[in-house]
Amino acid sequence: MVAYFQLQPAESELQQLAEEYWQKTGEKDREHEKTAFEAGEAIRNGDYTLANLEAIVRWKSERLVQYLIGNSNDKIRRVLAVAASPATSTGEAVKALLELHGVDLPVASAILAAIFPERYTVLDYRALEALGHARHDVRFYEEYLAFCKRLAESNVVKPQSELPAPTPLRTLDRALWEWSRKYSG
């Protein structure tokens, strides 16, 4: 079964929604996002540490950080090396990350988005709601990612160059999230 996505906001609203997202986000959440993408860059550059993983998980779900300590440093290094390899497929990267205690599919997608913001976006219930959907599994994430990439590549949004991870995919994620926050309560 192939997932079907129906963009709920008008394409013309997306850039403004992404701007509103950043304006309405509190300072603590802005700092978490900035730190997460700095940690993702460090991982991309080979720094496969718990500290970098923790910074990303804290951005996505602070309550899950406590579970990360159940993973050995060796396991964290091994999994992050797989996820950070440009040659690793989306499915392989997600499956490797799901081996970590405290990492579910939305968190795995956030880790990948922080490491490679030009390749991945976050699988989040708000963004999914803005696309008229709510199913989660690895295949679904791959389809969601492909849809978001096509949308971002169609130039409906521009990179927010002054914000963390200035990519069209990250701008689109902010826009979808803001639409959901704005219209679904």
Please tell me the predicted confidence (pLDDT) of residue 185. 58
- Which among 33, 100, 99 is positioned nearest to 69, based on CA atoms? 100
Burial of 178 (0-12, 13-18, 19+ CB in 10 A): buried
Please tell me the predicted confidence (pLDDT) of residue 135. 64
Please tell me the predicted confidence (pLDDT) of residue 1. 62
CA 127, CA 124: separation in Å to the nearest integer?
5
- Can you point out the beta strands (E) in 25-166? none
Single-letter amino acid code for the residue at 98: L
> What is the mean pLDDT of the segment spanning 50-57?
98
Tell me: pLDDT of 134 over 90: no
Percent of the chain residues topping a pLDDT of 90? 84
The predicted-structure confidence for 62-95, as pLDDT tens digits, reads as follows: 999 999 999 999 999 999 999 999 999 999 999 9
**pTM (two decimals):** 0.83
The predicted-structure confidence for 5-35, as pLDDT tens digits, reads as follows: 899 999 999 999 999 999 999 999 999 999 9
CA 27, CA 25: separation in Å to the nearest integer?
7
Please tell me the predicted confidence (pLDDT) of residue 39. 98
Please tell me the predicted confidence (pLDDT) of residue 3. 76
Residue 71 DSSP symbol: S
Q: Please state, rounded to an integer, the average pLDDT across all residues of the chain.
A: 94
Cβ proximity of 4 and 133 under 8 Å: yes
- Can you point out the beta strands (E) in 77-120? none
Tell me: pLDDT of 139 over 90: no
Cβ proximity of 132 and 180 under 8 Å: no
Tell me: pLDDT of 176 over 90: yes
30-44, 78-92, 138-152: range with lowest mean pLDDT: 138-152
